[in-house]
Amino acid sequence: MTNNSVTPNDSTTTPTTPTTGDTSPYAEAVATIQKALDSIAALIPAIPLTLQATRTYIRRRQNTKPELIDTAATAAEETPALQGLLNVTAARDNLAFNTAFGPLFARMDRIGQDLKFQIDARHAQSSAQALTVYSAAKRLAEQVPGGAEVAKHVDAMKLVAPVGKKVKRTKVTTEPPVAAPTPTSTTTPAPQVPTTQSSVAKS
C-alpha cells in the first residue's frame, strides 16, 4: 500500500543580502546571483516528504530505471489486482519532474563545480605567495638588524600559519656483518689408475 502520510518540507531561508558596508568588488555580483538563486529556488516544486523518505531510503532506490517506473505505472493502471500498490498519478508526475529538471540540475552542478574550482584556484595562487612571504619574513626578522618591525608581522602570521607535521623517522640499527662460513673443499680426489705389470717370458 502506498504511504500517503506526509510531513511538510522543512525549508529554511538563507539570508542573501550582502553584509552592510561590504566594499568588495564582487559584492554586487554576489547580490545579483543570490537574488537569481532565490528566484530559482522558489520555482522548484517541493515534493511532500513521506514517513519513509529518509536519506537512506531515498539513496537505496536510485538504481531503479525510469522505464521500470513507467511500465509499473501502466501495469498498475490497467490491472485491478495491482491498483493501490503504486500511485499512478504521482509516478507519472515524478517522471515528468525528473525529465524536466534533470538537465537543469546537471547544468547547475557544472556551474557549482566551476565556481568551486575558481575559489580553490584563487586560494592556491595566493596561498603559495603568502607562504613565501611568511618564510622570507622569518629570515629577515632573525638576520636583519632591527628586525623587530618584521617580527611583529611574523608573530601575526604564525598564529594562523599551517603547522607542519613532524616526520617520524625510523630508527636504523646497524648490525655487524655476518661472517662468511669457511668454504670446505668439495674436490673429489682423482681415482687411481691401477698399473698392470706385464711379465716378459725369458727365452
Comparison of pLDDT for 21 and 198, the residue scoring more: 21
Q: Each residue of 133-180: pLDDT tens digit?
A: 999 999 888 887 777 888 999 999 999 998 876 556 556 555 666 666
Cα–Cα dist 24/35, whole Å: 18
In the prediction, which pLDDT does 4 show?
41
Cα-based distances in Å from 117 to 110, 124, 126, 145, 190? 10, 10, 14, 43, 83
Examine the pLDDT at 51 and tell me if it is beyond 50: yes
Q: Would you place residue 71 in the very low, low, confident or very high pLDDT band (cuts 50, 70, 90)? A: very high
Comparison of pLDDT for 168 and 109, the residue scoring more: 109
Judge whether 90 lies within some domain.
Answer: yes
Examine the pLDDT at 35 and tell me if it is beyond 60: yes
Judge whether 1 lies within some domain.
Answer: no
Judge whether 116 lies within some domain.
Answer: yes
Comparison of pLDDT for 188 and 148, the residue scoring more: 148
Q: What is the model's pTM? A: 0.60
For residue 80, what are the domain limits?
26-158
Examine the pLDDT at 203 and tell me if it is beyond 50: no
Q: How many structural domains are present in the chain?
A: 1
